[in-house]
Structure formats: structure tokens, C-alpha cells
Amino acid sequence: MRVILIIFSSLFILSSLQAQESFSLAGKTSDIKDGSWLYFQDLVNGGTIDSAEVKNNSFKFNTKLPQARVWVMLHTKDRSKFTEVWLQDTPMYFDASKTEFQDAKITGSVSHQLVEKEEAIYLERNKLSDKELETRQKQFIQNNTNALISARMLYEVSGKWGKDSTAHYFEMFPEEIKKSAFGERIISFLENENIPQIGEKYNDFQATNPAGKQPWFSELTGKVTLLQFWSSTCNPSKLQNKELKKLYKKFKADGFEIVAISRDETKEDWINTIEKDNLNWYHLSSLEEGENPVFKNYGISRTPSNYLLDNQGKVVARDLRGEKLEEEVKNLLK
């Protein structure tokens, strides 16, 4: 394992990928005013990469990409029109001349050809066992190692799969994918020796609560505790919060607690969702752009995710939900 990590580190020490010269994105729209601007927002590292003016419902980006493969949001200035785009260093085409902007046909990208296949993995998710889902994900990654969308998938499941399995599938990627923003984050996960494992005590941290104070996590726990990672802009998080409200009501009096740490960057969105959805447990957030340091130190790459802790603060399980979560909480409270 140590040898693999040294190799990963060397890739970044020796060189960072130079800006690419061959990328372009020519596009057509149907209802955008002349003089309007479209923007590429980096969906991994944040920030705007480039912009292009719309004339006669046409536009073109000739962008020097920061990496050979980049996942972005293409949007208007007021964000009334937006869609995700998987960029790579080839000529690409965007056609929304006969469709809504978000339904544009996009060609020239390996990852775009795989979007529907990737989405199909999660169809009827509630009917799949964790093992069945993992098998689907591993097959997708193994069959599509030349696609950035596979690196995103591996990054999102890395915390659940663990370092050995993550490293095994990461080694299948070509260097171009390894040097992407997702590749960089996977390497960061593999090199992080502080992520708490089953049977180990939680990592303490300090973050801001809705009142503006910064308590330590250790001040809020001491009971059977679910450390819940979420975001107010994440629909799966909101759906899981509905389940957690029932669980909290059922077991709070018996000594069950929830501490939610949010990935939100905007305080207003975060607090409004807490109040609107009546989420009456402890809430914390770093309210930072980019990679949240608490998420990083717990190996969390997607929301919702969670750690279940016993009353001694030791990790009992990760990413439980539904009946499995309720049964484990009940057992710990006995």
C-alpha cells in the first residue's frame, strides 16, 4: 500500500498537467438574447473557468482547460439556464437549438456518452442490496476507466469501500484521469491516515452552529450519536432527513442524538432549510467554499453520509439508513 501511495505522490511532485490547447465547445441555443454570457463553473474545485458571449443563439469556448478532463456547470449569468458538462481536451458540440438548455445534446466527450448508463446503476436503489450496488459500480468503473465520470464515482464511494479497494480501482485509470481534480481528491483520501475506522474513536472538530458559535463536536456527543453529513442543496439529503426525523423522535428520550455537519457554503440556505424542515437536532457547518475540511478528515465525498457512534465515541458503522440504521440504534441503546 505504501508503495502505491508513493507512486501517487510522485505523479504530482514531478509535474502538474499543462493547460490543454485542443479543447473547444461550439454551441447553439434557441432563446438566449444577444450579448448574454455563458460561464463554466468548476464543479469540483469551484470558481469560474471561462466565459463566452452568445450571438445569434450561438457561442464558442476556446478554453485552455486547467486539466485534460473537467466537470463543469455551464450557466447563464442569472443561472436561469444551466446544465452539467463533462469537458475533455477535444472539439465538443452543444446543441440546444430544438430542446431546453438543460436537455442539450452534447457530443465529443467520453463521459457524456456514459451519463445515462451511470444513472441506470442507481435505478430502483431501494430495491438493491449494498452488495448488488457495489458490484454494479465496480463493473462500471472497470469497463470505463478512460472516463472522468468513473473517477467521480470512485471518489464518491471511496469512504465506504476503504483504501485498499479504492487504490485497486484507481490504479486502472490512465494518468490523465489520475491527474484530474477527482484523482487528486482520491489520492488525498488514500494518503489520509486520520480517517476513523470501525472500532476507533471519532475525530474531534470545531465548526459553526446557526447561532454563530463554534462548539467542539465532543461537547455535543457522549450519547449514541449519528454524525450526519449533508447539504441543504442535496435532495437525497433532504429525503434522508425525513427518515431521521422519525428516528430522532422515536429514540431521543432513550439517549439518541444527531449532530449534522453541512457542506453548505451559504449560511442563509443552510439555516432556512433547518427551520423549514424542522430539523431539531444539533447543526454545524464550516461554511467554506471548496473541499470542506471536516468532510475531508472523515473521508466523506458525497452526501448524505454518516457515522454511527456508541456512547463511548467509537465508530460502530458507516452509511446506515432505513431499517438497518434503526436496528443498530436500538441495539446500542439497550
* pLDDT one-digit tens code per residue, 14-59: 344 444 448 999 999 999 999 999 999 999 888 899 999 999 999 9
**To 5 degrees, how large is the angle CA 290–CA 155–CA 161?**
135
Where helices occur in the chain by DSSP H, the ranges are: 2-14, 115-120, 130-143, 148-161, 163-170, 175-178, 181-191, 235-251, 267-276, 293-297, 322-333
Mean pLDDT lowest for which of 37-51, 79-93, 293-307?
A: 293-307
* Whether the predicted pLDDT of 288 surpasses 90: no
Mean pLDDT lowest for which of 97-101, 129-133, 244-248, 271-275?
A: 129-133
Selection from 43, 55, 123 nearest residue 82 by Cα: 43
Q: What CA–CA distance (Å, rounded) separates 23 from 25?
A: 7
* Whether the predicted pLDDT of 8 surpasses 80: no
Average pLDDT for 193-202: 89
Q: What CA–CA distance (Å, rounded) separates 104 from 238?
A: 28
pLDDT given for residue 146 in this prediction = 96
Q: If you ran DSSP here, which 8-state letter would residue 20 be given?
A: P
Q: What backbone phi and psi angles, to 5 degrees, belong to 186?
A: -65, -45
Residue 194: band (very low, low, confident or very high) from pLDDT cuts 50, 70, 90? confident
pLDDT given for residue 162 in this prediction = 87
Average pLDDT for 124-152: 92
pLDDT given for residue 123 in this prediction = 86
pLDDT given for residue 265 in this prediction = 83
Retrieve residue 307's grid coordinates: 457515522
Selection from 41, 34, 19, 30 nearest residue 94 by Cα: 30
Selection from 208, 262, 276, 207 nearest residue 230 by Cα: 262
Higher pLDDT pick, 126 / 162? 162
Q: What CA–CA distance (Å, rounded) separates 277 from 256?
A: 20
Q: How many helices (H) and strands (E) does the chain have?
A: 11, 13
Q: What CA–CA distance (Å, rounded) separates 102 from 84?
A: 8
**Cβ neighbours of residue 241 under 8 Å, at least 6 residues apart?**
230, 277, 279
pLDDT given for residue 322 in this prediction = 87
pLDDT given for residue 301 in this prediction = 82
C-alpha dihedral sign at 82, 93, 144, 89: negative
pLDDT given for residue 290 in this prediction = 61
Selection from 123, 187, 191 nearest residue 151 by Cα: 187
Full-model pTM: 0.75
pLDDT given for residue 289 in this prediction = 64
Distance of alpha carbon 264 from its chain centroid, rounded? 12
